[in-house]
Structures are given as C-alpha cells and as structure tokens.
Chains A and B, each alone.
Chain A
C-alpha cells in the first residue's frame, strides 16, 4: 500500500451534514474519511474514484471542535 501523500486535517473540508472530511484528489474526485473513523484512530482517507490514499495528519484534540452536540 503506497500512500500518495500526507495531508494535515486543517487542509480538509468538513461537511457537517455528512460528518466527513474531504480533500481534492489528483484524479478529480476527493479523498474522504468520516469523523467517526478519525475518532476511532483511523487515519487513511480514500478516494471513491481511484486507488490513491492519503494519510491524515491530526491530533485527537483537533477533532473536538467537530464533535459538539
């Protein structure tokens, strides 16, 4: 498994409805990972349209602002 890149969580866009973080993929689609996965300690965001994967760089406390209510 070759990781394409490492991307800091602040460079992802958070969708508050779907509770997912997304970042542009060089194929034209977007890398995505759910907030739940990050909370569970997962850190690999995948693209639905290609095999590329990125590692999300974050600290657990970075998630706090998204975990309200």
Chain B
C-alpha cells in the first residue's frame, strides 16, 4: 500500500479527494475497472508541480493529478482523481512542473504536457499529448525539475529546458536534447537537480553548477535536492547548503540514520522511525504536537510515522511512503 500526505488541490495524492491532508491517506489505483489500495512496492514515484506518477517494476505506469495539458500522459480528463494506468511498457520516467518524460522498454523517449522554455525537448512545441522525442539514446538515468531535464547515457549527459542559470554550463535554453560537457563526466556517480542547479556527486566530492554553486570534499554517500538547497550524506553525517528561509537546512551533525528524501522544500529522514523537517504548510511534514507550533516551519525533526516503510518519495509539498 502507498500512503500520502500534503498538498492535494489537484488530486496529486491520488486518493480521490482534493483536500490537503497532514495524515497519511492510502493512494487509490484504478485497476481493471476497480478501485484498489493494494499494490506492490513501486520502483519509483515521480512528482510534477501538481501531478504524480508511480512506476512499477513490471513496466506499468500510473498517474494522477493535474492533467490540464496532458502532463499525466492521458488525453483526458483535466483532473485525474485516482492513479490511472498510462498504456505502454515503461522503464523510467521523470516529471517537471507541467510536463512528464517517459522512457519505454525500448529506451525510446516520450514527452507530454506543457512548457514554454524548451521543457518538452521538441523545438518550438510548447504543449503536446504523449509524443516521441526524436533522439536515439540509451537512457541510464533521467531526472527533471521545474523547468528542465538532465539525462545520462553512458558517460554522456543531455539536457533540455531552461538552463539560464548556467546549470548546462552555457547559460541558455535548450529546445531539444543537447549534449552538455559536464566536468569529469565519466567520474559522476549520481546527480540531482534543484530548481536552478545541477548537483554532481563524484563519490569523494560534490560540485554543483548554476544558481547555487557548491564544492564539497569528503566521502559522499548520497545527494538529494530541494528546489533551493542541496543535502548530502558526507562521512556518515547529514549536511545541507542553500536556502534556509523555512527550516530547510538540516542539522549538520545528524548521524545514525538510514536514509533521507527531499521534496520541493521539505525532507523526510528515516531513523528508528520517520521524521520530517522544513516547510510543511500543506501537511507534508505531518502535524507537530509541540505547543504553539505554527505547523508551517519544522526546524526540528518532527516524528511523522512509526511503522516500517520500504520507499519514501517527496514532491511539491507532498510526502509518499510505501508500507
């Protein structure tokens, strides 16, 4: 079962309601004409501005939320209230503000939705139903953020969308997938995207390009990003750099945790149980039981769930967990 809390104005939590929730509510899936909450652990959950996609190991992909521009991969309706299957067999996906990129089992790229700054990778096209992006690449990793996408193919990286903060090295909008010469691209172990920065993990260092430029040396276990901050596990400790307007930066000395995930401006940490931190105005950080807490800024880790989980995934003021 998948559970979700947080911002839900466009049904992005996929539970049939458009009410925000600070409590975890089961996600609903439309399968063979029946609504069910019983699903396997997904491979990954992807998050757009107001839409969500769930990809399963068997290649099935489900989506819900705002489909005004077809960003859920369905021709209609405008709002998809429960997770509904996108026909096809898919191996990967990524979501941006109002668009989605889907990769099928033949490594072909498809795009749907809207974007006026090259987000679709189709040249002048600014809105489309599921359309093939005419490029032939083996896709090893793909990630999208608000207005751009970065794809890894072997040791090569391709970007498209709005790169005007220098995150593609050249300060430019790329209307179609364009090869970018990231520094020491062969040595990049993983990458993550803030709204305006590309963050590269080399295993023994981190370097970011774009609006938020950082350089860090140390043993890097993982990197995650919010829209305006970078978070990494370094020499076993959780550390953060960037915007701290709403408690987004984590405690620099935090150790002894299993993993963490980040959404647009909040994080979830897995230790003995799950804790939230950062900006939780829509219920995405749960509810604090501290007296006089504003339920908006969670500077201290807030216990949010005490049962075992097999996956955590966070979006735009949303938190999803898999039991």
Contact = CB atoms under 8 A, between A and B. Distances in A.
A40 B127 CA distance: 34
B50 A28 contact: yes
Interface stretch (B5-13, B79-87, B216-224, B268-276): B5-13
Interface in B233-252: 243, 245-246
Chain A interface residue number, banded: 10 to 19
Nearest to A10: B164
Interface in B27-68: 49-50
Given A5-B228, A24-B97, A29 B9 contact: yes
B9 A28 contact: yes
Contacts of A51: 281, 296
Contacts of A13: 116
Interface in A1-35: 2-5, 10-11, 13, 24, 26-29
A27 B146 CA distance: 12
B122 interface: no
B316 A27 contact: yes
Contacts of A3: 245
A56 B215 CA distance: 28
Q: Is the interface of A mostly helix, strand, loop or mixed?
A: loop
Given A28-B316, A28-B317, A5 B243 contact: yes
B49 A28 contact: yes
B146 A24 contact: yes
A2 B116 contact: no
Contact of B12 (A10, A26, A28, A52): A28
Contact of A49 (B9, B146, B195, B279): B9
Given A5-B228, A50-B282, A51-B281, A27 B7 contact: yes
Nearest to A3: B245
Contact of B245 (A4, A10, A27, A29): A4
Contacts of A49: 7, 9
Nearest to B51: A28
A20 to B, nearest CB: 16
Given A50-B281, A50-B317, 16 more contacts: A4-B243, A4-B245, A4-B246, A10-B164, A13-B116, A24-B49, A26-B279, A27-B281, A27-B282, A27-B317, A28-B316, A29-B9, A49-B7, A49-B9, A51-B281, A51-B296
Interface of A: 2-5, 10-11, 13, 24, 26-29, 49-52
Interface of B: 7, 9-10, 12, 49-50, 97, 116, 146-147, 164, 195, 226-228, 243, 245-246, 264-265, 279, 281-282, 296, 316-317
The 9 closest A-B pairs by CB, nearest first: A26-B264, A28-B50, A28-B316, A26-B265, A27-B317, A28-B49, A4-B245, A2-B245, A50-B281
